[in-house]
Amino acid sequence: MVGAVNVLLAAVLMIAAMVLLKNCKGDGARLAIVSVFTFVFSASVGLLTNAKRSEVYATTAGYAAILVVYVSGPISD
């Protein structure tokens, strides 16, 4: 059950961040969205799993990299 909650939380964090980034126009707001969601993701991985520090760092870097693609690339409507 706890594993399912972790997977659901990770999916919600990714989808919510992408939806907000898609609908956000300002660069400052996009940076804030990426920062907040990256922090929440990192905290959830660190607190809700038994991951080592290096694993938390690696997963957070991957998560942030995905979000940066949405910030740096053009998003067509």
Amino acid sitting at position 67: L
Other Cβ atoms less than 10 A from the Cβ of 72: the count is 8
Report pTM: 0.85
> How many Å apart are CA 32 and CA 51, to the nearest integer?
26
> How many Å apart are CA 71 and CA 60, to the nearest integer?
17
Give residue limits of the domains in the chain: 2-72
Say which residues have a Cβ less than 8 Å from residue 37's Cβ, sequence separation at least 6.
13, 16, 17, 20, 67
Structure tokens at 75: 């998003």
Mean pLDDT in residue range 46-72? 91
Over the stretch 33-53, which tens digit does the pLDDT of each residue have? Answer: 999 999 999 999 999 889 999
Q: What per-residue confidence (pLDDT) applies to 76?
A: 61
pLDDT greater than 60 at residue 77: no
18 vs 1, higher pLDDT: 18
